[in-house]
């Protein structure tokens, strides 16, 4: 089995919550250094800087998304003959706007990062980087002897 197949399998398993829990329980000593490296890199990479910069630039877009969500909820309530309190409508509109803003922000950040040749730090990427490292090998051998 080559390295890319192992990494792809890890990525698929990490996305499934049941497999993720089993990986952490059964592979604790193997996952421990991967999680440590991931947490140390997360938020400190170039991708995060690009994403934060774009977030500052797109604040107006967030306001527009909120206004669109209010219009959408108003028309939806009118169509279904439902009434919603102003507080509940505001809360739901904010949730919709935040979700849409996050999706747009992430997509634009990925696009801009690709222009600079930068990639996001993910658990799969950390696993791929550490797959041949002596630290991961040491912890894997350590657990196999016990």
Among candidates 100, 139, 120, which has minimal Cα distance to 48? 120
pLDDT surpassing 90 at residue 60: no
**Whole-structure pTM value:** 0.71
% of the chain surpassing 70 pLDDT? 97
Render pLDDT for 90-119 as a digit per residue (tens, 0 to 9): 999 999 999 999 999 999 999 999 999 998
Statement: residue 139 has pLDDT above 80: no
* pLDDT, average across residues 74-101: 91
Q: How confident is the model at residue 54 (pLDDT cuts 50, 70, 90)?
A: very high
When pLDDT is cut at 50, 70 and 90, the band that residue 144 belongs to is: low
Decide which of 65 and 30 is more confident: 65
| In contact, 65 and 100? CB cutoff 8 Å | yes
How far is the C-alpha of 59 from the C-alpha of 61, rounded, in Å? 5
What is the CB neighbour count within 10 angstroms for residue 87? 8
Chain mean pLDDT for the chain: 87
Q: Residue 62 and residue 97: Cα distance in Å, rounded?
A: 7
């Amino acid at each position: 089995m080559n390295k890319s197949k192992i990494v792809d399998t890890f990525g698929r398993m990490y996305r499934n919550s049941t497999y993720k829990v089993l990986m952490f329980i059964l592979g604790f000593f193997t996952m421990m250094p991967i999680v440590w490296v991931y947490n140390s890199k997360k938020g400190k990479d170039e991708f995060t800087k690009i994403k934060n910069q774009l977030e500052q630039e797109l604040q107006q877009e967030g306001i527009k998304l909120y206004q669109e969500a209010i219009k959408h909820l108003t028309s939806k309530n009118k169509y279904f003959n439902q009434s919603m309190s102003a507080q509940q409508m505001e809360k739901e509109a904010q949730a919709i706007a935040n979700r849409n803003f996050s999706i747009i922000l992430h997509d634009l950040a990925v696009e801009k990062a690709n222009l600079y040749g930068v990639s996001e730090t993910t658990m799969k990427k950390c696993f791929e980087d550490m797959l041949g490292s002596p630290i991961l090998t040491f912890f894997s051998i350590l657990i196999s002897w016990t």
